Amino acid sequence: MDYAFYTDEYHGSGIPEEEFSAFAARAEEKLAQYKRVWQVSGTRRDEALALCAMADALSYFDRAANGGIAQSVSVGSVSTSFAAPQELTPAAREAELLRCARIYLSIYRGVC
């Protein structure tokens, strides 16, 4: 999966190109962990879409932790305010990453 797939196939726009490879690598590591622990099935395209969704979530977590999520935006007279850094528990982050992967992949416990 590369940035062109992210923008053209997944239609992602939340991650700047220069930051994409770092979030994609972290998503790939997490999906590899899922594959070690659970049964994961889907096509290569499904897997690439899951990685894009997971990368988007990781990017959101990073922005939220650094106060980069806009809380309110005004168009007239251009006004923006940013939310205070949000604390997402590790369990909440894990649950969201798994949810993102499960949108595109079948992930379950058990044997084939």
Global pTM value: 0.81
Express each pLDDT in 51-71 by its tens digit. 999 999 999 999 887 765 555
Q: What is the largest CA-CA distance in the chain?
A: 59
- pLDDT at position 67 is 64
Spans of all domains in the chain: 3-108
pLDDT at 94: 94
pLDDT tens-digit readout, 64-99: 877 655 555 445 556 555 444 455 788 999 999 999
DSSP secondary structure letters along 37-72: HSEEE--HHHHHHHHHHHHHHHHHHHHHHTT-SEEE
Q: Which residues pair with 80 in a beta bridge?
A: 73
Q: How many CA atoms lie within 13 Å of 42's alpha carbon, on the beta-carbon side?
A: 19
State residue 63's pLDDT score: 86
